[in-house]
Amino acid sequence: MTDPVLLGADVGTSGLKLVALDGAGVVVAEAERGYAHDRPEPGRAEIDVAVWRTALDATLAEVVAALDGRPVRALGLSGQMHGTVLVDATGRPVRPAVLWPDARAAAELDRWRVLPDGERAALANPLVAGMTGPVLAWLVAHEPEAVARAAAVLLPKDALRVDLVPGGGLVTDRSDASATQLWDVVADDWSRAATAAAGVPGDLLPDVRPGTEVVGTTPIAGAEVPVVVGGADTPLALLAAGTTAGLQVNLGTGAQVLRPGAAPRPVVDPVAHTYADVTDGWYAMAALQNGGSAWAWVRGVLGLSWAELFEAAAAAGPGAGGVLFRPFLTGERGGVAGPDDRGGWAGLSAGTTRADLARAAVEGVAFAVGAAARSLDARGEAEHVVLTGGGGRTPVVRQVLADVLGRPVRHLPLRSASAIGAAVLAARGVGADVEPRRPAGPLVEPRPDPRLAEAARRWADRSR
């Protein structure tokens, strides 16, 4: 076959995924490379930007070989949100990237808290230390020499794109810009008040371009391939799933509960986030830092493989024999839990089994997702909840989520929804109209159980 394909790459927190999408929206090749970020001190999260390029080159080699000569029409990029990458005028990083789990800028949030109510309300987002704005404020105060060498601050996917297309400009897109804590959602532009309060030089902020805009080309398989600006991973997952109403739950390392079609409005102390999507709209999001990452910790503590963890959870009854699990091992953004909250099991007895502990872990993450969904006030907006992400691949997880949410759940088994969304953006950038295939799983109906209801009540009491 010689029909061209569209490539989409997702620069994730724990790995990079690359997909090739044909004109019918079918994934014809995909590859993934994992990596770990650095923790130079407690509460910090950094990575050498070169790690992302190495992962992309490795996945490109694998995917191009699988394409067997099929040409590549365009490349789009998706990236983890909120990262902070200081680059010089050539696009080279002046220090490692700071990632969203980083908590060093907690004290800098006071700069946002003292803004006049009108200016703060226009940001319409909870204050989170790991977002780009607070991290920038910390860097201005603690690493002024790095800031002085920088020409711009970019988001992760932008830093990789500049490495691919050196002359493509130091730019970002609206979906990433709106999640920096420096964006006025009412004016739909950079907030001068927040930028000034943070002490951030205004000329560090990148130009904001449409995600579909072609910024240049990069060589792939012997041809110069157009590269588009791209977008943030969460709204690109919405685009790939085709969710335009109701709720979508993306369950991966963390968890995001998404409600598309939100209307931006000023709020001084919001519980949920309001971010721009990759078109011209907005979505509301309640985010959890601890999703699949909490299960990974449980798996290690219990000495179980992933399959064994979920088999044990499925073997235990609803309510986990009275055991509760709070998954907040690294704290939370607020709303469901706070930055200083921590995780652990409670309600243990002499009769507690390893299966009970595994079941409680699955239920605990589901309870947190349920609390996040309630914060969006999205009751009755759709017949079922769309579930994406690797955490939704297991039947016991899908069933527990349906039971906790009290609504049917349908899993979309897309290996990387964000990478697929990036490929769709790439297609639009070169004038193609590609609709991804969405092989939906079965509809999982909720099964009310008084034991689970009682566990949910006790879990909520502990969270107050």
pLDDT band at 378 (very low <50, low <70, confident <90, very high): low
Question: pLDDT confidence of 87, banded at 50, 70, 90?
Answer: very high
**Looking at residues 378-388, what average pLDDT do you find?**
73
Identify the structural domains of the chain with CATH numbers, from first to last: 5-232 (3.30.420.40)
> pTM (2 decimals)?
0.88
Mean pLDDT over residues 431-446, rounded? 90
Residue 254, pLDDT score:
85
pLDDT reading at 26 higher than 90: yes
Q: What's the pLDDT band for 269 if we cut at 50, 70, 90?
A: confident
Q: What pLDDT score does 253 carry?
A: 82
**Closest listed residue to residue 242, CA positions, set 427, 420, 426:** 420
- Give the Cα separation of 10 and 234 in Å (integer): 11
Report the candidate in 6, 15, 7 with the shortest Cα–Cα distance to residue 390: 15
Work out the average pLDDT over 371-396: 82
Instruction: Taking residues 195-222, report their average pLDDT.
Output: 94
Kindly report, residue by residue over 164-186, the tens digit of the pLDDT. 999 999 999 999 999 999 999 99
State percent of the chain over pLDDT 70.
98
Cα dist. 397→106, 238, 376, 409 in Å? 33, 20, 21, 10
Residue of 233, 133, 124, 126 whose CA lies nearest to 180: 133
Residue 260: count of CB within 10 angstroms of its CB: 22
Confidence tier at 380 by pLDDT (50, 70, 90): low
Statement: residue 83 has pLDDT above 70: yes
- Judged against a pLDDT cut of 70, whether residue 24 lies above it is answered with yes
Query: What is the C-alpha separation between 392 and 10, in angstroms, rounded?
Result: 19
Helices (H), 131-173: 132-142, 144-149, 156-164
pLDDT (mean) for 24-49: 94
The conformation of residue 193, written as its DSSP 8-state character, comes to H
Question: Which of 8-12, 176-180, 258-262, 360-364 is predicted least confidently?
Answer: 258-262
Q: Is the pLDDT of residue 115 over 60?
A: yes
Is the Cβ–Cβ distance between 366 and 348 less than 8 Å?
Answer: no
Q: Report the distance separating Cα 349 and Cα 177, nearest Å.
A: 49
Number of Cβ atoms within 10 Å of the Cβ of 418: 33
Q: Which two tokens stand for residue 78?
A: 């998706």
Cα dihedral across residues 219, 225, 226, 228: positive or negative: negative
pLDDT at 439: 82
Residue-wise pLDDT tens digits, 287-296: 888 999 999 9
Q: What is the pLDDT of residue 185?
A: 94
**271 confidence band (pLDDT: 50, 70, 90):** confident
Q: What is the mean pLDDT of residues 347-376?
A: 94
Q: Above 90 in pLDDT, residue 140?
A: yes
Burial (CB < 10 A; 0-12, 13-18, 19+), residue 450, is exposed
CA dist 238 and 39 (Å) reads: 30
Q: Read off the DSSP letter of residue 292.
A: H
Q: What pLDDT score does 416 carry?
A: 85
Q: How far is CA 336 from the centre of its chain?
A: 17
Q: If residue 215 lies in a helix (H) or strand (E), which one and from where to where? A: strand 214-220
pLDDT of 382 over the 80 cut: no
Q: Region 253-270: what's the mean pLDDT? A: 90
159 close to 87: Cβ distance less than 8 angstroms: yes
The answer, yes or no, to whether residue 383 has pLDDT greater than 90, is no
SS3 112: helix
Task: Read off the pLDDT of each residue in 358-379 and give the average, rounded to a whole number.
Answer: 89
Single-letter code of the amino acid located at 103: A
Q: Residue 11: what pLDDT?
A: 96
Highest mean pLDDT among 78-92, 247-261, 433-447: 78-92
Question: What is the mean predicted confidence (pLDDT) over 299-327?
Answer: 96
Q: What is the pLDDT of residue 43?
A: 87
SS3 per residue for 78-108? EECCCCEEEECCCCCECCCEECCCCCCCCHH
Average pLDDT of the chain, as a whole number: 93
Query: Residues near 453 by Cβ (< 8 Å), separated by ≥ 6?
Result: none
